[in-house]
């Protein structure tokens, strides 16, 4: 019995990652059989993982029809960007630049070495955690998860995405707040402009083929 919670947590994390990375397309029904092959377990822990992801808003539950990946629409994507912008600005206002003891706990070199979608998520989460506000941290975790597939698709199409992230990191580390806010504005202005293109790409499965 001691190992059961750990086993369920491992299945949850594996299923969550598969959904975030596009194993199933937005709007597509989630096939339990494909997930069973991925985690090598019965359907019961998989369904439990999907119910948990449904409660988190990362999948949609349909009565008697299983689960599906939510569609990405222009209003929903803009909403996520606006929500993330507001959350990160709130966190940054709690302290930019952050105290030295907080900066010492963050592995910026390891962050920069990650794939751009993961590095971006890690950075925004670091800003949220540094604020000390658990509500902001939870919000940023949720939006990061929701945007992961979009970032994977879109960031690779932005030739300056690494330099853009470096500017965000550097202005947050050294301040002042006004420079970090200017970098944030440039970051989100570009993504707002790209929303129609990203939604079109996600509506065509061949974009990932």
Using one digit for the tens of pLDDT, what is the confidence trace for 138-167? 999 999 999 998 888 776 667 788 999 999
Lowest mean pLDDT among 40-44, 82-86, 93-97, 184-188: 40-44
Instruction: For the chain, give the percent of residues with pLDDT over 90.
Output: 67
3/133 Cα distance (integer angstroms)? 32
Instruction: Inform me whether the pLDDT recorded for 186 exceeds 90.
Output: yes
* 37 — pLDDT class (breaks 50, 70, 90): confident
Q: Is the pLDDT of residue 206 over 60?
A: no
DSSP state of 66: E
How large is the average pLDDT for residues 166-184? 97
Identify which of 173, 146, 164, 161 has the alpha carbon closest to the alpha carbon of residue 92. 173
**To which H or E segment does residue 100 belong?**
helix 100-103
Asked if residue 208 has pLDDT above 50, the reply is no
Bridge partners for 68 per DSSP: 29, 60
Note the pLDDT of residue 159: 75
Q: How far apart are the first and last CA of the chain?
A: 42
Mean pLDDT of 109-114: 96
Whether 104 has a pLDDT exceeding 90, the answer reads yes
Task: Using alpha carbons only, give the angle 77, 116, 155 rounded to the nearest 5 degrees.
Answer: 45
Cα(153)–Cα(19) distance, integer angstroms: 14
Confidence of residue 4 (pLDDT cuts 50, 70, 90): low
Domain with CATH 1.20.120 in the chain: 74-208
For 92, list phi and psi in degrees, rounded to 5.
-65, -35
User: What is the arithmetic mean of pLDDT over 183-190?
Assistant: 96
Between 1.10.3470, 1.10.1740, 1.20.120, 3.40.50, what CATH number should domain 74-208 receive? 1.20.120
Q: What are phi and psi of 69, to 5 degrees?
A: -85, 130
pLDDT at 89 over 60: yes
pLDDT for the residue numbered 140: 97
Task: Say which CATH topology domain 3-68 has.
Answer: Arc Repressor Mutant, subunit A (1.10.10)
What is the per-residue pLDDT for 22?
85
From-to residues of CATH 1.10.10.10 in the chain: 3-68
- Report the alpha-carbon distance of residue 148 to residue 161 in Å, rounded: 15
The rounded mean pLDDT for the chain is 90
């Amino acid at each position: 019995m001691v190992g059961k919670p750990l086993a369920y947590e491992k299945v949850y994390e594996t299923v969550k990652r598969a959904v975030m990375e596009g194993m199933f397309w937005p709007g597509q029904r989630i096939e339990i059989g494909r997930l069973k092959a991925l985690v090598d377990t019965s359907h019961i822990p998989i369904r439990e993982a999907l119910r948990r992801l449904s409660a988190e808003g990362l999948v949609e539950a349909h009565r008697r029809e299983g689960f599906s990946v939510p569609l990405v629409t222009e209003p929903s994507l803009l909403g996520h960007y606006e929500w993330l912008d507001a959350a990160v600005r709130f966190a940054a206002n709690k302290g930019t630049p952050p105290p030295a003891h907080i900066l010492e706990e963050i592995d910026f070199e390891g962050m920069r070495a990650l794939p751009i979608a993961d590095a971006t998520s890690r950075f925004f989460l670091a800003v949220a955690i540094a604020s000390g506000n658990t509500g902001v941290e939870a919000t940023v975790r949720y939006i990061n998860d929701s945007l992961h597939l979009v970032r994977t698709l879109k960031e690779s199409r932005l030739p300056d995405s690494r330099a853009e992230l470096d500017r965000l990191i550097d202005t947050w580390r050294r301040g002042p707040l006004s420079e970090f806010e200017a970098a944030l504005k440039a970051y989100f202005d570009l993504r707002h402009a790209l929303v129609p293109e990203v939604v079109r790409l996600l509506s065509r499965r061949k974009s990932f083929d």
